[in-house]
Amino acid sequence: MYFVPENNYFKTKSDVMQLQTIQNKIYEVRGQRVMLDFDLAELYEVETKRLKEAVRRNIERFPSDFMFELQGMSTIL
């Protein structure tokens, strides 16, 4: 276990490893911190297609900048 002084609680090695795994999947694109849809789907243990369907079906529950999609030439720049 690890002690995290700023939060005053203990974390297991497994918790720390999982946090590092998540942090490694956060990228910076055009000044925005983003997580790719397939990484987020993997985290929630669902198919990417199902994650995107759920977000679109419940879009009012998310902030306006929660999701964006690159289209056309943007995807290769």
Domain limits of the chain? 1-29, 36-66
Cα dist from 4 to 7, 10, 12, 13, whole Å: 6, 6, 10, 12
pLDDT in tens, 34-60: 899 999 999 889 999 999 999 889 989
pLDDT at 15: 75
pLDDT at 1: 41
Mean pLDDT, the chain, whole residue set: 79
pLDDT at 33 over 70: yes
Name the residue with tokens 């795994």: 21
* Nearest CA among 44, 43, 45, 39 for reference residue 25: 39
pLDDT at 71: 74
pLDDT at 32: 83
